[in-house]
Amino acid sequence: MFNLKIKSRRAKGGGGTSTAATIPDWAVPYIKNVGNAAEGMFNSGELGTVAGKNTNLSRAFGTGSDAIADTTNRGLGAMSGQQDRLTELANTGGYDTKALKDRAILEAGQRTAEMNKGFGQAGTLGSARQAVQQGAQNAATAAQFATIDQQAAQQNFQNKMAAEQGLSQNVAGMSGLASGAAQAFSNLGAQERGIEQEQVDAPWQALQRYASTIYGNPARQQQVASGGGK
């Protein structure tokens, strides 16, 4: 039990002494009550009580952590697929000339058929004149193919450059997403570790609180006045 004592003593030599406590009489009962309460709470462990986790914090540490992982994995998966497509585009350019050339061949065949029909009706089918026109048509078709290839080469070059830039941005995005997830996990872990540390430090906290209550009371000193003597 907390006990507050005020002692008096008589100084050596002649003359008397008087002792006066620095604590007012009216404050003594309150100080004793505070000391007794602090000692009781310390012994019962109440001074070391910490809040710990609550439902929302547990949810944040649990489902919140899962959400960070799921979002990050989905984002990285999508970026990985985009990375594959961009890589393919950077390699090939992605410009397909097959459809354009098939159309040119079809149109050339239609013109040949129409030409043959005209020469047949005129009775000059297989003539030198027909051969000249057919050669001119074949040259025009070849020129059309060359134009298609030239346009494809230009477009493929532009596509490859754009794909290379996209790859660079995609890599940076994946790195940023992974870094952001790591930071989010770190922040979440730091908060959880802080709560765990508070619980570990509970005994020391209790001791600090107890000491601040007991030793934080007004100093119990005495003022001694000498009445004389040597």
| pLDDT value for 80 | 86
From the number of C-beta atoms within 10 Å of its C-beta (0-12, 13-18, 19+), residue 130 rates as: middle
DSSP run (H or E) holding 18: strand 17-21
Which tens digit of pLDDT belongs to each residue from 106-116?
A: 988 888 888 88
Q: What is the pTM (predicted TM-score) of this model?
A: 0.45
Number of domains in the chain: 1
Tell me how far apart the 2 most distant CA atoms of the chain are, in Å.
162
| pLDDT value for 143 | 92
Look at residues 218, 220, 222 and name the one whose alpha carbon lies nearest to residue 18. Answer: 222
39-53, 63-77, 134-148, 193-207, range with the lowest pLDDT = 39-53
Angle formed at CA 177 by CA 175 and CA 179, multiple of 5 degrees: 65
Q: Taking residues 168-175, what's their average pLDDT?
A: 86
Is 118 a residue whose pLDDT tops 70? yes
Which tens digit of pLDDT belongs to each residue from 55-88?
A: 777 777 777 788 888 888 888 888 888 888 888 8
| Domain region containing 179 | 17-226
**Residues 155, 157, 161, 163, Cα dihedral to 10°:** 60
User: Is 220 in contact with 21 (CB distance < 8 Å)?
Assistant: yes
